[in-house]
Structure 1
Amino acid sequence: MKIVSQIKDPIRPEMELFESKFRESMSSKVPLINRITHYIVNRKGKQMRPMFVFLTAKMLNNGEINERAYRGASVIELIHTASLVHDDVVDDSNKRRGFFSINALWKNKIAVLVGDFLLARGMLLSVDNGDFDLLRIISVAMREISEGELLQLEKARKLDITEAVYYEIIRQKTATLIAACCSMGACSVKPGSPEVETFRKFGELCGMAFQIKDDLFDYGSTAIGKPTGIDIKEQKMTLPLIHVLNTCSNDEKRWLINSIKNHNKDKKRVKEVITFVKEKGGLDYAVQKMLAYKNEALDLLKAYPESDYKGSLELMVNYVVDRKK
Structure 2
Amino acid sequence: MLKLEEIKKPIATELDDFEIKFKESMRSSVPLLDRITHYIVKRKGKQMRPMFVFFAAGACGGINESTHRGAALVELVHTATLVHDDVVDNSYQRRGFFSVNALWKNKIAVLVGDFLLSKGLSLSVKNQDFEFLRILNEAVTEMSEGELLQMEKARRLDIDEGVYFEVIRQKTASLIASCCACGAASTNAPSELVTKMHDFGEKVGIAFQIKDDLFDFGFDDVGKPLGIDIKEKKLTLPLIYALNNTSKEKKRTIINLVKNHNEDQKKVMEVIEFVRNSGGLAYAREKMLSYQAEAFNILEAFPESEYKTGLEQLVRFTTERNK
What residue is the counterpart of 1:125 in the other structure?
A: 123
| Secondary structure in 1 matching 2:45 | coil
Structure 1 gaps, min length 5: none
Aligned length: 323
What residue is the counterpart of 2:137 in the other structure?
A: 139
What residue is the counterpart of 1:39 in the other structure?
A: 39
Alpha-carbon distance in 1 for matches of 2:47, 2:10: 15
Deviations 1:49-104 (A, max 9, x none): 0000000101111xx32111100000011111111111111112111111111111
What residue is the counterpart of 2:97 in the other structure?
A: 99
Residues 83, 113 of structure 2: 8 Å contact kept: yes
Alpha-carbon distance in 1 for matches of 2:223, 2:18: 36
User: Aligned runs of 1:82-231 on 2, under 5 Å?
Assistant: 82-224=80-222, 228-231=226-229
> What TM-score results when the alignment is normalised by the length of structure 2?
0.97
Alpha-carbon distance in 1 for matches of 2:228, 2:86: 17
Change (3 A) 1:214 1:243: same
Residue 192 of structure 1 deviates from its aligned partner by 4.2
What residue is the counterpart of 1:280 in the other structure?
A: 278
Alpha-carbon distance in 2 for matches of 1:98, 1:225: 12
What residue is the counterpart of 2:5 in the other structure?
A: 5
Structure 2 gaps, min length 5: none
Task: Let me know the Cα RMSD of the aligned residues.
Answer: 1.3
What residue is the counterpart of 1:20 in the other structure?
A: 20
Match of 1:314 among 284, 292, 312: 312
Residues 2, 313 of structure 2: 8 Å contact kept: no
| Secondary structure in 1 matching 2:44 | coil
Alpha-carbon distance in 2 for matches of 1:22, 1:224: 30
Match of 1:256 among 254, 257, 261: 254
Structure with more contact order per residue of length (Cα contacts < 8 Å, sep ≥ 6): 2
What residue is the counterpart of 1:297 in the other structure?
A: 295
Residues 6, 312 of structure 1: 8 Å contact kept: no
Residues 69, 189 of structure 1: 8 Å contact kept: yes
Alpha-carbon distance in 2 for matches of 1:87, 1:147: 14
Segment drifting more, 163-172 vs 108-117: 108-117
| Secondary structure in 2 matching 1:157 | helix
What residue is the counterpart of 2:68 in the other structure?
A: 70
Residue 223 of structure 1 deviates from its aligned partner by 3.0
Deviations 1:99-125 (A, max 9, x none): 111111111111111111111110011
Alpha-carbon distance in 1 for matches of 2:222, 2:16: 31
